[in-house]
Amino acid sequence: MPKFVYAFAEANKDMKDLLGGKGANLGEMTRMGLPVPPGFTITTEACLGYLAHREFPDGLADEVSEQLAKLEQSMGKTLGDPGDPLLVSVRSGAKFSMPGMMETVLNVGLNDESVHGLARQAGNERFAWDSYRRLIQMFGKTVLDIDGEHFEDAIEAAKGAKGVRNDVDLDADDLRQLVEVYKKVVHEHAGRDFPQQPREQMDLAVRAVFDSWNTERAVIYRRQERIPSDLGTAVNIVAMVFGNMGDDSGTGVAFTRDPASGAQGIYGDYLQNAQGEDVVAGIRNTVPLRDLETIDKRSYDELLQIMQTLEEHYRDLCDIEFTIERGKLWMLQTRVGKRTAAAAFRIATQLVDQGLIDMTEALARVNGAQLAQLMFPRFDEKADRHKIGQGMNASPGAAVGKVVFDSYTAVKWSRSGEKVILVRRETNPDDLNGMIAANGILTSRGGKTSHAAVVARGMGKTCVCGAEELDVNTKERVLRAPHGVTVHEGDVISIDGATGEVFLGEVPVVDSPVVRYFEGEIDPAAEEADDLVRAVHRMMGHADGVRRMAVRTNADTPEDAARARRFGAQGIGLCRTEHMFLGERRSLVERLILADTDEARERQLGELLPLQRQDFIELLEAMDGLPVTIRLLDPPLHEFLPDITELSVRVAVAESRGENRENDLRLLQAVHRLHEQNPMLGLRGVRLGVVIPGLFQMQARAILEAAAHRIKAGGVPRVEIMVPLVANVQEFETVKQDIIQVAREVREAETTHLEFLIGTMIELPRAALTADQIAEAAEFFSFGTNDLTQTTWGFSRDDVEAAFFSAYLEKGIFGVSPFESIDRDGVGELVRIASEKGRAQRPGLKLGVCGEHGGDPDSVQFFNEVGLDYVSCSPFRVPVARLEAGRATSARRANGNGSR
């Protein structure tokens, strides 16, 4: 039978799978000799057993009783004893931090009798009744599933009757009466009395924590953060220490570095005469942690020493929860803290400079998603701005959107395409859906450690907290600012998460310093370069130095190619030639489609040839010396023709007026002739080259003549011609022979030696499964994972994303859209099979990917694992792919897996 309960002294930080992050780290701090209240942890295995059968696993109750007896013995108290009660907290703690998503119950063990014993022992009647009302309130919401507003209304009524604004202004008699009101709320809304048996309270609280693993908000958060759903949560039973015993007590949250910027210093919040949930909930505004020095210098000095000890021990930014009980400091939790993207890069390089980690470890601590955040635009400081408020810079970024005051509206408006800013007094876990949907989050209460701040930083979402001068009225759905400014729901505001400023209206944005660095506008060695640019430069240099895969770009214009090259692209992995036929050239393609004789078709191809040639000359010049993969025409021809409905109306109107619109009529006939029920699987790609004489030959000639031109101009073109949508080797060979014949003619005409490769896109399951046959003729493969995903799943992307993807994501059928991140088990397995078969037939076969997955951080990791030679992505994503390719190589080396 497995062991289900561990004392803190038996635990350590490497036991997160079994004991969750909180339990493992409480054990680690206990072993380090830090002041941790005694307690024990119920394992995640017990949670999974309970969730599977809806009852505690055999043996769990006995193990809990055994550990509880040891805890009582060590404290010299008995749980809920009327004379001198032991009280405990029941707290969740999963392997991965899920702030505010699961349940906690404090002060378990209090009842109508033991509250008097607590008052006598503490010598503080107000503290005892405050603790009891907190227990009933938390227990009612968490365990008995009573709407928290019933308790909030009751305490607001009590404060109103007293004529005070804060909870701390209620005295012992007020709180005693509030307890009676709370008990009536429980009886009315739960259909039972508040339980008076301490062990029943504890067991019910444990069940509630287990159940909270599968609450809607927890499921949504796991989906957002890509946390597996089969981990379960541990439960920590901890002897209570009290921050609400008077002004010599309090509670706080501390960070060993600023989680928003990464700057070294003293960061955190403290609240006198309070318990932990008061800080995180943002119900009362905290004071900066530095103020603790004047409030309680001895505890402050001890806390700073512990913070330094923990950071050096964990070799990272630590997030710490603590309580001071009558001048005695207690550590309630530590974990490696969530941080913004800027903080992640700064802290990683700072720790290298301090000798705590090396650059390989530093690279593992940042990721491509964070780098992408640093490349987002920021507000233009030179623009006209109407500032209406100032809060705390909780999570950086520049967010603009329409004001909404609740989660439901945020989700609804966001789904209709609106950008929104969620505005609340303070957020709570039930606001998670709205926080995900919003472009940014603004609260009038709370600090950098409030729920809004912690969750926003974890999601990389812009957030401003504690803007106290703003009056948020969610019932009237207005935000009132100083000087008579009123903002209604639907009005646009802008929030700056880097400065904490709030502006009325839309503020223009400019490129971020990190983008300007990649553009070559900022020299990281220059004195004016900030430390973030220097940190990014160092990290990119290390990633480039260790990565195995090359990074190319998807580019169709010389401008895109040049920008991608500045961003570090090592060639073009996909040039889509169809984009060169749009705009003013569309009419030429229309005439090509309408050509009804060989002579007419050749004439139109002849008109297109010099235009295509010039396109390729400019592209090859921009990427001189680097490989350029040019895909021959892929989409069905009807995409170059007018819309069938629009054209039909035009023809009908002309006929009704007796006008001669012969060209429109011919176009309409062509549209009908080329109409397909499923054009994605129709006449496109290689099939166009097989059935339309001269089309692919014209494109090949333009490419090769452009290469010859560049050679004569002293350039070094490295051309790769790619045939799309190949399903079998015979199709490919047919087109390849045509290209080889064109190459002979160009060589003779230009008297130039041309070197080039001919390869194919693997974007059909059949192509992947017969890759060994195709590799007999193809000199390279490029995986078109967009179409490969469509054809593997049987999805038409344009249809299914709007039709049912949101339902699939909500129901957990998808953890993430397979078009955003590679489906490793299906599409990814086809990539693996094709890679292995292709290289078995043609050792050294060049392999790359040119779908949108080439810029997705998780997908880049997979492509490195499979052994691809390069990934290709949009110019803006090139730095992201470079960083992830470096991280992927470092991770495989660290795990003992070399590259192929």
Active-site positions? Answer: 451, 850
Please report, for residues 41, 70, 539, 751, 886, the alpha-carbon distance to residue 93 in angstroms, rounded to integers and kept in the order given.
Answer: 9, 22, 33, 73, 32
**Sheet of 478-481: strands edge to edge?**
471-473, 478-481, 485-488
Q: Sort 384 into a burial class: Cβ within 10 Å, 0-12 / 13-18 / 19+.
A: exposed
Angle, helices 198-212/125-142, rounded to nearest 10 degrees: 50
Which residues lie below 8 Å from residue 743, measured CB to CB, with a gap of 6+? 700, 704, 754, 756
List the structure tokens of 188. Answer: 């009315």
Taking each continuous run of H as one helix and of E as one strand, the counts in the chain are: 36, 33
Q: Sort 825 into a burial class: Cβ within 10 Å, 0-12 / 13-18 / 19+.
A: exposed
Other Cβ atoms less than 10 A from the Cβ of 380: the count is 14
With beta carbons less than 8 A apart as the criterion, state whether 260 and 395 touch.
yes
Counting every residue written for the chain, the total comes to 900
Please report, for residues 718, 742, 779, the alpha-carbon distance to residue 708 in angstroms, rounded to integers and kept in the order given.
Answer: 11, 13, 21
Beta strands in 315-391 (DSSP E): 318-325, 328-336, 378-379, 386-390
φ, ψ for residue 551, nearest 5 deg: -125, 120
Q: How far apart are CA 833 and CA 835, in angstroms?
A: 5
Strand partners for 762: 783
Which residues lie below 8 Å from residue 657, measured CB to CB, with a gap of 6+? none
Please report, for residues 780, 865, 872, the alpha-carbon distance to residue 845 in angstroms, rounded to integers and kept in the order given.
Answer: 6, 16, 17
List the alpha helices (DSSP H) in 486-633: 513-518, 531-546, 558-566, 586-594, 598-622
Q: Given the structure tokens 């892929």, which residue do they identify?
A: 634
Let me know the angle formed at the C-alpha of 831 by 886 and 756, rounded to the nearest 5 degrees: 80
Which residues lie below 8 Å from residue 813, measured CB to CB, with a gap of 6+? none
**Sheet of 328-336: strands edge to edge?**
287-288, 264-272, 250-257, 318-325, 328-336
The one-letter amino acid code at 187 reads H
Beta strands in 199-304 (DSSP E): 233-239, 250-257, 264-272, 287-288
Let me know the angle formed at the C-alpha of 173 by 169 and 175, rounded to the nearest 5 degrees: 65
List the structure tokens of 622. Answer: 């921009």
Instruction: Dump the DSSP string for 625-678.
Output: TSEEEEEPP-S-GGGGSPPHHHHHHHHHHHHHTT---HHHHHHHHHHHHH--SS
Four-point Cα dihedral 896, 768, 789, 820, nearest 10: 30
Nearest to 768 by CA among 792, 793, 736, 786: 792
Angle, helices 857-866/827-841, rounded to nearest 10 degrees: 30
The one-letter amino acid code at 723 reads V
Q: How far apart are CA 224 and CA 99, in angstroms?
A: 13
User: Which residues in 636-658 are b (16+ Cβ under 10 Å) and which e?
Assistant: bbbebbbeeeebeebbeeeeeee
